[in-house]
Chain A
């Protein structure tokens, strides 16, 4: 009797847990000979703690979290690797109905355009400051999150100082819409379905989306305890293959309804399937009664969406430095770069014949159009991947990029 290796994975109830959840529910993990056990958690801190004591071997985490852990920025830091990403995009910025009404007075429109929304928000912020009103308060889910960095990037690029002109606080995703409705916060940046939640319940208006601030940008990764990964290379490789197949399945429009039902289950996100469909299809309700299509809102598979680019790790690191979370040193940059493991990804996925990028890093924001790139296995198209302000991040010019950032 052979026993399947068991892998216990922690996850948070968010749309992009889809790859992990479908790997289990649609039998991709089992087909790879794994007994994948999923445990839903209530906070990122719990996931971190339970990884540290060995309850979880892997987890669905915010892409900057393993980097923060390896840099020793969080408690209970144990060496962690990110051998696969769990898709691209999936977040949005939602504001209260009151704030949206003010923004509309200054030219915002329900088109998710970050430049237009940002210019309007800047006027609102200035008007409040002139009246000595308290600063607007925005929420993100965690200090080491794509949400925190893309919100700050957007605000700063629009001339709003995220450190002084607004307050940024932490609120758990399922409580965001309530916090908005109660007036405790004026806006937030969160993953789906928690923007749709506010839009459909009439509690807020989606101002812009991650896919518009930085198209095809990283969001969650699978983190693995480095020690476990080292001791169990076969089990890890099997899991990476299962996740890749799951990503392929999640990306099929024909599977959306079923995926939405799986995610809506009370053991997963426990909210209506209809809410899940918005993010999966990119057909978002604005909150003003109409619906708009967002290209590449959430990308589970195409464009090497699961590849752990070292340039993604380094961009997150550059933002940690920018907002004063860590000191820039060559050693810290190396720790950030080495956290992401495209080598393990490539070795595990080679037998599948899917498209594997040849490079480990790329210039982020360089592709204005979808562009064929060098790959092994199937052919690969990347991009467009632009930052809304035309910014470029060349990981080989990290020092210059960091020096050029406005704090």
Chain B
């Protein structure tokens, strides 16, 4: 009896294109070439019928999980029964997946050993993506803070006739005295000067 083709057919459903491409890259590096990536569930039944996926990976952010699960149970479009990955994984793996924000469905009869590496890859890529998004957010707020401090310095230089170094020193001292961040002091100062500015300003 001929063996099933060695490459599993994997369908990734993710509305976040950037994350989808991060997952795609990971799976391709791991040698999974039979990949389909979709960002939108419109016409999903037809796509599933065409692709005949062995494994479906979906983000927990996607509001269509209830629709998909119902389709797996009922639809004639899905020719092979599809179950949630949990049937083939242990508690720790389920937790890791939920923590990472990913869920997976696998076709009936697929061995746990074949699914696990794919799921592990999806989990690690989801986590890496969240980390990246967090770092980006941090970098963005860092930049925002620097802009706030520059504006506050400018206000102090203009209104109090301070040098740039003295303006920064004053902000820093105030922050230390009040046990707050310099960016917070800067923000308060900008707000206050905005309130006190003549009405034609802005």
Could you list which residues of chain A lie within 8 angstroms of chain B, going by C-beta atoms? Answer: 42-46, 49-50, 52-53, 55, 75-76, 141-143, 169-172, 174-175, 184
Known: A49-B103, A75-B86, A76-B86. A43 touches B95 (CB 8 A): no
Q: Mark B56-78, 1 if CB is under 8 A from A, else 0.
A: 00001111111101110100000
Given contacts A50-B98, A53-B98, A43 and B84 within 8 Å (CB-CB)? no
Contact of A46 among B42, B60, B73, B83 (CB under 8 A): B60
Chain B residues with CB below 8 A from A46, complex form: 60, 65
B61 and A42 contact, CB distance less than 8 A: yes
In the bound complex, how far is the Cα of B87 from the Cα of A53, in angstroms? 15
Give the Cβ gap from B138 to chain A, nearest Cβ, in Å: 22
B binding-site residues for A, Cβ under 8 Å: 42, 60-67, 69-71, 73, 83-84, 86-87, 91, 94-95, 98-99, 103
- Known contacts A46-B60, A49-B103, A76-B86; A172 and B94 CB within 8 A of each other: no
Q: Are B66 and A141 in contact (CB under 8 A)?
A: yes
Contacts of A55 in B (CB 8 A): 98
> In the bound complex, what is the Cα–Cα distance between A180 and B93 (angstroms)?
38
**Distance A53 CA – B99 CA, assembled complex (angstroms):** 9
Partner of B66, one of A50, A142, A184: A142
Tell me which residues across on chain B come within 8 A of A175, comparing CB atoms: 63
User: What is the number of contacts between chain A and chain B, taking CB atoms within 8 Å?
Assistant: 57
- Nearest CB on B from A61, distance (A): 12
With both chains docked as a complex, state the minimum distance between the C-beta of B82 and any C-beta of chain A, in angstroms: 11
Interface of A is mostly: loop
Given the complex, which residues of A lie within 8 Å of B65, measured CB to CB? 42-43, 45-46
Which listed residue (B67, B69, B86, B87) contacts A172, Cβ 8 A?
Answer: B67
From B66, B87, B95, B99, contact of A45 by CB (8 A): B66
How many Å from the CB of B41 to the closest CB on chain A? Answer: 10
Residues of B within 8 A of A42 (CB): 60-63, 65
The reply to whether B66 and A172 contact each other, CB–CB distance below 8 Å, is: yes
When chains A and B are docked, how far (Å) is the Cα of A171 from the Cα of B66?
A: 8
- Verify A45–B103 contact, CB threshold 8 A: yes
User: Quick one: closest A residue to B72, CB to CB?
Assistant: A75
**Bound complex: CA of A147 vs CA of B42, how far in Å?**
23
Cβ-closest chain B residue relative to A62:
B66
Query: Within the complex, what minimum Cβ distance (angstroms) separates A18 from chain B?
Result: 21
Docked CA distance A75–B69 (Å) = 10
Contact: B86 with A43, CB < 8 Å?
A: no
Query: Once the chains bind, are B60 and A170 in contact (CB under 8 Å)?
Result: no
Tell which of B64, B87, B91, B98 touches A43, judged by Cβ atoms closer than 8 Å.
B64
Assembly CA distance A170 to B69 (angstroms): 9
- 30 A-B pairs in the complex with CB atoms less than 8 angstroms apart: A42-B63, A43-B60, A43-B64, A43-B65, A45-B65, A45-B66, A45-B69, A46-B65, A49-B60, A49-B103, A50-B98, A53-B94, A53-B95, A53-B98, A53-B99, A55-B98, A75-B69, A75-B83, A141-B66, A142-B70, A143-B70, A143-B73, A169-B67, A169-B70, A172-B63, A172-B64, A172-B66, A172-B67, A175-B63, A184-B42
